[in-house]
Amino acid sequence: MAEEFSLFSQSTLDKLEETVTKEKKDGIEIDKGFILTESYLLEHIELFERYMDLFIAYPDIFLDIIAPSDSNFHLFFYQRIFLRACFRYRYHYVTACRAFSKTFLSILAIYLQCIFLPGTKRFICAPGKNQSAKIAKDKIFEIWDKYPLLKKEIIGEGSFGKDYISLLFRNKSLFDVVGALDSERGGRRHGGLIDEVRDHDGEILNSVVLPLMNVSRRTVLGEVNLNEPNQQQLYMTSAGVKSSYAYMKLIDLLEMQIINPKEAFVWGCDYRVPVMHGLLDRSYIKELQMSPSYNEETFAREYMSVWTGGGEDSWFNFDKLQKYRKLKNPETHFSVRQGTSQFYLLSVDVGRIHDQTVCSVFKVKIQGGKYYCSLVNIFILGKNIKAKTFYQQAIELKRIIRDFKPKEVVIDTNGLGVGFADEMIRTQIDEFGESYPAYGFHNDDTYKKVQPKEALQILYGIKASGSLKSQINGNAYSRLNGGTVRFLITEQSAKNALLETKIGRKMKPEQRIKRLLPHEMTTKLFEEMANLRLKRTGMDIVLESINTRFPDDKYYSFAYGLWRIKELEEESYKRRRRFGNGSGTRKLIFFSGG
């Protein structure tokens, strides 16, 4: 038993053991004057088994039976569908409007699972651990108020704190709160609720929360019940923006529902259903719709459950950006056809501790004097602690330079970038003994004095601050709206296309992940851009994050590259004007008077 509940103190375990032993002997007082004993259970075991089979399939009927005789609370049809789906599907995703009672129903479903599945460990995870604890506490007390018999299923009164909750059930099940934090790594649960998934950080969910459910629940006989939804994931949320992790997860599970309808259940609901049942006031909704101060996009998300292109404050038009996702294949090395005016350009935004160092790979095509570009790959340098040193990051960037043979490498040499630039003008040797040459800056007089004379001068330093950063933001906006940039298609589209090929189907999981990673990185870039809004600071174009949990490293790596491409285009234009389209002679035009 100590191994089963390792999260609790020995005194708590002893109390649980003592309580269970006493109740086996004396029975459990279900109501005044009525005691449920072990002998009574054994005598009617077949009847109880039939009821359990029924209740697991139809938990709402169980609630109807145990509701107090004087209760006026009842479940509506959509709430019954909700509870049944929680018991039947491994993945359950609901996009619902306000007053749908999605959190109440989710916690009620988990509570019932703890009763019907002995020894199961279930959790709730909201964007903040304090928020999770508060939500769970409020809903649990509401559940006990409506169904007092359910409180009899736990030991004691439950444990409630500012950032924690734990309920120990008589059948050794556990219900508690999990935070989307690195400190939760290593824990084990059998299923849980991801509440308001639109506000979660997708990377933390994937790396910390979802791995908690690696192990399936085992029965008293030590076997895994294949008929129950093992590693169950319940996703409840209001609609958000299409650039978010939550929307990508929605599409992922919707596809799964089509392919394997027994595994996933995805659905949504707008305000009309709660209004029909009196949970929302129709006149209040009409007032919101008619109010000139209420944003239509916000109403669409909160009450219509419609996922929108971007936040209403987003500076970049997400829907317009999506139209430029045309590239089917990322590029991993130099590939330029002879006789074409194309070249590669790398752009790097530097990070060290909390931020990432991001390298954007552009393929630029010159056509009619215009510089059109495609973002063919995005690399993250220094993915782990050991590789985050500038020495190691420089090695990684030089490997990319070796693979793509770029015309230029743009590096932000403002702040942290100076330390990274210092490594780029030196020689490095990796763990395999391979040497990487020094590279030089061609636009920085300070570095020209100290960098090796023989170094290939392909580095371009950019100090992005103040008015220059404003111009960089303006240029990014202009070039994107002008349609001169192309991006990789979404990872879902790329995955579908890959699985349609024999090579794709034969790929190992790690190979497929590596192949789809550039598409995923492009989606994350779009998320960052959709999370940026214009900050009012005079005439400068200053961007700030709408949601501070999202970084902006990928965006600025991308924006710096666009700025340098714009400079190269202008330099080329000036040369053409000066030398007559490169012929070496100037064309003179004379006008006669008159």
pLDDT single digits (tens) 113-149: 999 999 999 999 888 778 888 888 999 999 999 999 9
**Interatomic CA distance for residues 469 and 577, integer angstroms:** 28
Residue 311 has pLDDT above 70, yes or no: no
Convert the pLDDT of each residue in 540-560 to its tens digit: 888 888 776 678 899 999 999
Say whether 135 sits in a helix, a strand or coil: helix
Q: For residue 309, what pLDDT is reported?
A: 63
> Tens digits of per-residue pLDDT, 35-58?
878 888 888 888 888 888 899 899
- How does pLDDT run across 490-542, given as a tens digit for each residue? 888 898 889 889 998 899 888 988 999 999 899 889 888 888 888 877 778 88
pLDDT for the residue numbered 300: 80
Render pLDDT for 341-383 as a digit per residue (tens, 0 to 9).
999 999 999 987 667 899 999 999 999 889 999 999 999 998 8
Q: Does the pLDDT of residue 3 top 60, yes or no?
A: no
Res. 293: pLDDT tops 70: no
Is the pLDDT reported for residue 440 higher than 70? yes
Is pLDDT of 4 > 70?
no
Residue 162 has pLDDT above 50, yes or no: yes
Cβ burial 364-373 (10 Å sphere, 16+ → b, else e): bbeeeeebbb
Confidence of residue 586 (pLDDT cuts 50, 70, 90): low
Q: Quote the pLDDT of residue 17.
A: 59
On the question of pLDDT at 184 being above 80, the answer is no
Q: Output the CA angle 300-108-274, nearest 5 degrees.
A: 30
Nearest to 376 by CA among 568, 507, 203, 525: 525
Higher pLDDT, 400 or 296: 400
Q: How confident is the model over 447-476, as pLDDT tens digits?
A: 999 999 999 999 999 988 878 999 999 999
How much is the pLDDT for 438? 96
Q: Is the dihedral of CA 419, 420, 425, 429 positive or negative?
A: positive
Q: What is the pLDDT of residue 174?
A: 93
3-state secondary structure 79-106: HHHHHHHHHHCCEEEEEECCCCCHHHHH
- C-beta atoms surrounding 429 within 10 Å: 11
Q: Are 133 and 163 in contact (CB under 8 A)?
A: yes
Q: What is the mean pLDDT of residues 10-15?
A: 56
Q: What is the mean pLDDT of residues 324-343?
A: 91
Give 181's pLDDT tier (boundaries 50, 70, 90): low
CB distance 366 to 341 below 8 Å: yes
Distance of CA 492 to the CA centre of its chain: 14
How many angstroms separate the CA atoms of 516 and 519, rounded?
A: 5
Question: For the residues 373-398, what does the mean pLDDT come to?
Answer: 90
- The residue among 382 and 311 whose pLDDT is bigger is 382
Q: What is the mean pLDDT of residues 252-281?
A: 92
Q: Which residues of 496-510 are buried (b: 16+ CB within 10 A; e: fewer)?
A: eebeeeeebeebeee
What type of residue sits at position 587?
K
pLDDT in tens, 57-116: 999 999 999 999 889 899 999 999 999 999 999 999 999 988 899 999 999 999 999 999
Lowest mean pLDDT among 398-407, 490-499, 506-515, 578-587: 578-587
Continuous segment of H or E residues that includes residue 358: strand 357-367
**Average pLDDT along the chain:** 86
pLDDT at 296: 66
Pairing verdict, β 174-177 and 165-168: antiparallel
Whether residue 578 is predicted with pLDDT greater than 60 in this model: the reply is yes
